[in-house]
Structure 1
Amino acid sequence: MTNDVFQNPLMDPGADPWVYKDHNMYYFMVTRRNRLDLWKSPTLSGIAEGDCKTIWTPPQEGINSQNLWAPEIHKINGKWFVYFTANDGDGGDKTRKIFVLENSSEDPFEGEWIERGYVNTEHPGLDGTVFEHDGHQYFVYAGYGNFPAYGSGLYIAEMTNPWTVTGPNVLISKPEYEWEMQGGMAINEGPVLLKRNGKLFLIYSASTTWSDDYSLGMLTASNEADVLNVSSWDKSPHPVFKKSVENGVFAPGHNSFSQSPDGTEDWIIYHAIPKSEGGSQLRSTRVQKFGWNENGTPDFGIPLSTSVPIQLPSGEGLTNKVNE
């Protein structure tokens, strides 16, 4: 293989991948279940081979001692925050909460991570994420309930600080299509916001993560819309990224977004399973470039086979040479 290509998967296993680009560095997290690990790399294709540090280990017992899932690192007003799901290991879904860590250092590999408790959501839930819009900070998470079958729907609330929400938790998406109810539960989870072309795209994962038909759905709102109004969000009736039997990619989902080092390309980071009915333990981290439709919506294409060489993100060749 030449030096200007790479192949998926980037990390195996590697579930619930999250990438955050800050200046010339990529920060990467995946579900480790019993700890929070953080990677950093100057290249997107090399995120799993970058420096790695365990930034937090849970107490032996208590409300956040077990089932550490779906960590996300964000930079808000110059400080670093990590959001992750956890529970006590005994209470099941009804005890799941989203917890927050804060680090005021310029480099998240330095300084101290301070526990800020859990976000005061109205419902038990998981997969919390944050975004800024029109000068306000918002929190979106997957809350448990009956929609009509048992599972999760997406709630949004305004934040007064990075670990506190205020006002109503507004249900903006619930499972209603057959493709959102595969695997034995009705699921909307793993929300992540993508801003472009005067629009807000809230991408989420649908159905159970162990189902072949785990896939990505999309809500769209205009840049001027009130994001706390459910009518502001238009829901796509079909998945926008789904399995490819031909390419041997099943259950693609729980994604994040980033850009190439030079900022000219958009990339989706997601996990998938390499064989039908392979189970969630086989989830691995993959990345691929995506484009845009004429109407301004994202075009994620088809998940690529792991046998296909992928061109390095634009600007990575220069980054690699600088770091050699």
Structure 2
Amino acid sequence: MMRKKLLIILFFELAFFTGCNESPVFAEPQVKTTFTNPVWDGADPWMTRHGGHYIYCYSVNNTIVVSRSKYMTRWGKLKTIWRAPSSGWNSNCVWAPEIHFFDGHWYVYYAAGVSGPPFIHQRTGVLRSATDDVFSDYEDMGMLYTGDNPDNSGSNIWAIDMTVLEHQGKLYAIWSGWEKQMDTDATSQNLYISEMKNPYTMKGKRVLLSSPEESWETGGPLNLNEGPEILKHGNQIFIVYSCRESWLVDYRLGMLQLMNPDGNVLDPSNWKKKGPVFHGTSKVYGVGHCSFVKSPDGTEDWIVYHSKKSSSPGWDRDVRMQSFTWNVDGTPHFGVPVPTGKEISRPSGEVAIEQAETK
């Protein structure tokens, strides 16, 4: 009996010491392959891809901040690139900046006003980076002219949400503005276009492209066309814009299509309106003000947009993103907003980037 007990003890001791001498086994880091909306708080999301990085630009407390990241779904390094001055036309109400790269410099287009509410002083300004580094210093290039008489700078007119279109060697500014300067911000907004001499100077008079006239872009307390963004597919060009009231659940996206890409971009009859092309649901409210990017491997198209956090009136919003496809006629098919919390596959190529970094 004693010998049997000794054999049992010896067996467990050998098993223990053998186990201690084995190399420990660690689990490989798990890279998450999905994400959920919303991705972060904020509004008026502007994202672009440059040199293998996603550049995200936004405003907060009258400053403009830029993020540079390898990932669409995560912010990277952050830097405040500009603070509004203590006085002057652009000292307050800094809204909806966009950042674009032209000829070795970054240009930031933003709206600002001397005061508000009421927000009757909004104009559009532009900043230029010192170098091709998005985190370099920025020079204030001043206010852009968005009125009807370029020879009279004092005749400038309310303007927000400016974006730019490069087409056939020319540069065009597209923005949301008023027909004439008003003393109330309860004023209908239209989309205008103007050719540019360079990224910080207008060339000629503005041209009216779109007014809120269709049944799907009217019907509320204030008719708006705003937040125009350029979407290109092959040789086709689209302006995807926001309409209805930004503070209500009916905020949505409409679209203008350039019918003849070789024709006159400044001819309103060359643009065809369609909509709504993207709108909210009973679970996702007031979708609008988007931007467009390719996935890291270039195989997918994604829309980045904001939505209201609740059905109550107001501007408490967050940022979402989802992939979209193309119809047989070459127009975009955005589908329906993905509900909060539903798992979405990460943009194609993003997982591989993270796996390579964790090895």
What TM-score, normalized by structure 1, do the two folds share?
A: 0.93
For residues 193-272 of structure 1, the aligned pairs below 5 Å read 193-221=230-258, 222-236=260-274, 238-245=275-282, 248-272=283-307
Once the two structures are TM-superposed, the CA of residue 220 in structure 1 deviates from its matched residue by 0.3
Amino acid at match of 1:121: T
1:114 matched to 2:139: yes
Amino acid at match of 1:226: N
Cα separation, 2, equivalents of 1:266 and 1:231: 28
Cα separation, 2, equivalents of 1:202 and 1:55: 28
Give unpaired runs (5+ residues) of structure 1.
none
Q: Which runs of 4+ in 1 moved over 3 A?
A: 90-94
For residues 81-120 of structure 1, the aligned pairs below 5 Å read 81-90=107-116, 92-109=118-135, 111-120=136-145
Cα separation, 2, equivalents of 1:319 and 1:302: 28
Aligned with residue 210 of structure 2, among 151, 167, 173? 173
Once the two structures are TM-superposed, the CA of residue 294 in structure 1 deviates from its matched residue by 0.5
Determine the structure 2 residue equivalent to 1:309.
343
Cα separation, 1, equivalents of 2:356 and 2:48: 21
Determine the structure 1 residue equivalent to 2:152.
none
Q: How many residues are paired up?
A: 314
For residues 266-305 of structure 1, the aligned pairs below 5 Å read 266-281=301-316, 283-305=317-339
Once the two structures are TM-superposed, the CA of residue 114 in structure 1 deviates from its matched residue by 0.4
Residues 206 and 214 of structure 1 are in contact (CA less than 8 Å); yes or no, is this contact kept in structure 2?
yes
Amino acid at match of 1:171: L
Determine the structure 1 residue equivalent to 2:82.
56
Determine the structure 2 residue equivalent to 1:192.
229
Amino acid at match of 2:71: T
Cα separation, 1, equivalents of 2:217 and 2:119: 19
What TM-score, normalized by structure 2, do the two folds share?
A: 0.84
Cα pair distance change 1:8/1:278, threshold 3 Å: farther
Cα pair distance change 1:182/1:272, threshold 3 Å: farther
1:138 matched to 2:183: no
**Percent of aligned pairs with the same amino acid:** 39
Once the two structures are TM-superposed, the CA of residue 121 in structure 1 deviates from its matched residue by 1.2
Amino acid at match of 1:112: D
Cα separation, 2, equivalents of 1:278 and 1:95: 23
Deviations 1:45-96 (A, max 9, x none): 113xx11111111112221011110010100112101111000014844421
Cα separation, 2, equivalents of 1:206 and 1:75: 27
SS state at 2:262 partner: coil
Aligned with residue 158 of structure 2, among 110, 120, 124? 124
Determine the structure 2 residue equivalent to 1:8.
37
SS state at 2:205 partner: strand
Residues 17 and 31 of structure 1 are in contact (CA less than 8 Å); yes or no, is this contact kept in structure 2?
no
Residues 179 and 213 of structure 1 are in contact (CA less than 8 Å); yes or no, is this contact kept in structure 2?
no
Tell me which structure has the larger Cα radius of gyration: 2
Give unpaired runs (5+ residues) of structure 2.
1-29, 148-156, 181-185
Aligned with residue 53 of structure 2, among 25, 29, 40? 25
1:322 matched to 2:356: yes
Residues 257 and 266 of structure 1 are in contact (CA less than 8 Å); yes or no, is this contact kept in structure 2?
yes
Deviations 1:265-284 (A, max 9, x none): 00000000132125212x10
Cα separation, 2, equivalents of 1:90 and 1:16: 19
Determine the structure 2 residue equivalent to 1:41.
69
Cα pair distance change 1:91/1:117, threshold 3 Å: farther
